[in-house]
Amino acid sequence: MNTSTALHYRLQHVDDHTLLACDPPGGVRIVEAFGDVAMADHIAIVVPGNGHHLGNYFTDRGPVSPRTRGELVRDAMAAQAPGERVAVVVWVGYRTPAGMASAFSNRYARDGAGDLARLTHYLPRSAHLTLIGHSYGSAVCGLALPAARVEDCVALGSAGVGVSRRDELGTGTRLWAAQTETDWIRFFPHGRVGPLGLGRPPLHPAIQARRFGTGDITGHCGYYTAGSESVRNIARIAVGRYAEVTPAGVRAVATAPAAAMEVAA
């Protein structure tokens, strides 16, 4: 499947799923909505990293599954903003790197950024939009930002947001980031030379993201741990409760044990 073909966004109900886009059989891209995106006050767009595609999207039901994470974020948003309408879009709208070696290339992020930006203009203009990129997905989000319509962007366990300077990310978007002290992503080479490298990480002084707390989670894949301070903070950002976001270094309540590190991100 040639994923250089632009995604065509439209709401469609297939079986028990609400899809915004889907490649034909043999393709890799799928975009699913959880909640009523047409009427939502707040919409979070979850962008995963390595190893996720249409072929394993519905069969993978583990803790690193994009669908599991999307539903968890939606429920956390609802808990943080009772009475407000919330929705989540899980965007596997690009060909993700298959493994660590291919993740050194920024080609996948560059190829997907345009489609991600277009999604933000398809969604209702009245909704508060937040991009949430994990691992390689944060580079897709960063490269999409200049053309996107979003109020907030959250980078989780990010090796780089695709650029070298904050002004390359456009203006008008609040940039947030989280990274645990035990996340191996901190050893990923930084910078960008042509098609190689993902730029600077969001916590670099040249990018200036606001760092928020993650509680007791550990590793690279624990940011979406159910009941964690990490998920609560992601949800607070996604519903605009900025004053309630806890900064890094503040001890939060105990959370459930974090999932073991997975190859998929």
- Report the CATH number that the domain containing residue 144 is assigned in CATH: 3.40.50.1820
Q: Inform me whether the pLDDT recorded for 156 exceeds 80.
A: yes
User: What is the band of 260 on the pLDDT scale with cuts at 50, 70, 90?
Assistant: very low
Residue 28 pLDDT: 97
Cα dihedral 228, 77, 133, 182 in deg (nearest 10): -10
Q: Inform me whether the pLDDT recorded for 263 exceeds 70.
A: no
Burial of 82 (0-12, 13-18, 19+ CB in 10 A): exposed
Once rounded to an integer, what is the mean pLDDT over residues 110-132?
98
Q: Inform me whether the pLDDT recorded for 32 exceeds 90.
A: yes
Which has the higher per-residue pLDDT, 162 or 250? 162
- The encoded tokens of residue 211 equal 């760092």
Would you give the distance in Å from CA 211 to the centre of its chain?
16
Residue 195 pLDDT: 85
| Least confident piece of the model among 33-47, 49-63, 122-136 | 49-63
Residue 119 pLDDT: 98
Q: Which domain covers residue 111, as residue numbers?
A: 12-244
Residue 192 pLDDT: 75
Domain assignment of residue 4, yes or no: no
Domain assignment of residue 152, yes or no: yes
Q: Which of 51-60, 135-144, 180-189 has the highest mean pLDDT?
A: 135-144
CA-only gyration radius of the chain, Å: 17
Residue type, 28: V
Once rounded to an integer, what is the mean pLDDT over residues 144-163?
97
Q: Inform me whether the pLDDT recorded for 57 exceeds 60.
A: yes
Domain assignment of residue 256, yes or no: no
Residue 250 pLDDT: 65
Q: What's the helix, strand, coil split of the chain in %, to 5? A: 25, 20, 50
- Give me the percent of the chain exceeding a pLDDT of 90: 82
- Which residues are registered as beta bridge partners of 254? none
Residue 4 pLDDT: 61
Tell me how crowded residue 79 is: count the other CB atoms within 10 A of its CB: 13
Domain assignment of residue 135, yes or no: yes
Domain assignment of residue 89, yes or no: yes
Which has the higher per-residue pLDDT, 235 or 189? 235
Q: Kindly state the helix (H) or strand (E) to which residue 120 belongs, with its residue range.
A: helix 107-122
Once rounded to an integer, what is the mean pLDDT over residues 20-44?
97
Residue 183 pLDDT: 94
Domain assignment of residue 5, yes or no: no
Domain assignment of residue 254, yes or no: no
Domain assignment of residue 263, yes or no: no
Total domains in the chain come to 1
Residue 99 pLDDT: 81
Q: Which of 102-106, 174-178, 190-194 has the highest mean pLDDT?
A: 174-178
**Tens digit of each residue's pLDDT (9 = 90 or more) over 188-228:** 878 777 788 899 999 999 999 999 999 999 999 999 999 99
